[in-house]
Amino acid sequence: MASDIQVYGADWCGLTRGVREYLTNSRIDYDYFDVDRDDEAQQFVLAMNEGRRRFPLVVVQEQVVTEPTIAILHSVIGEHALRPPIRTSPPLAERDEQRPASLTRSRTRRT
């Protein structure tokens, strides 16, 4: 299944790297398409930019955003209510059950 966000750009493009870094640091899943390595991605970028190679091009749930700033991208992602997945840790007792007995520490307090 494809992500709700697709980033089209080039590895050498600083703006593309910035967008990817923002998404990665925000723990938001996305798919990346390098137009220098993927001819279909390049054709898509050209079609969306009137025949010009402009990066990055970001698709957020079918909304195409060309050359977004981080602030614009943050706003668009918020409009679509996309958030990183919430990762929860199992309760301590459950984690201890998964560990070998030799690694489980006693939780008694010394006085």
Q: Are 28 and 77 in contact (CB under 8 A)?
A: yes
Q: Where is pLDDT greater, at 45 or 1?
A: 45
Mean pLDDT throughout 3-19?
A: 95
- 90-105 pLDDT per residue, tens: 555 555 556 555 554 5
Q: Does residue 107 register a pLDDT over 60?
A: no
Residue 64: alpha-carbon gap to chain centroid: 16
Range of the domain at 107: 1-111
Give buried/exposed letters for 11-25 (b at 16+ CB in 10 A, else e): eebebbeebbebbee
CATH code (residue 106): 3.40.30.10
The domain total for the chain is 1
Encoded tokens for 26? 């925000």
With residue 33 as reference, give the H or E element that holds it: strand 31-34
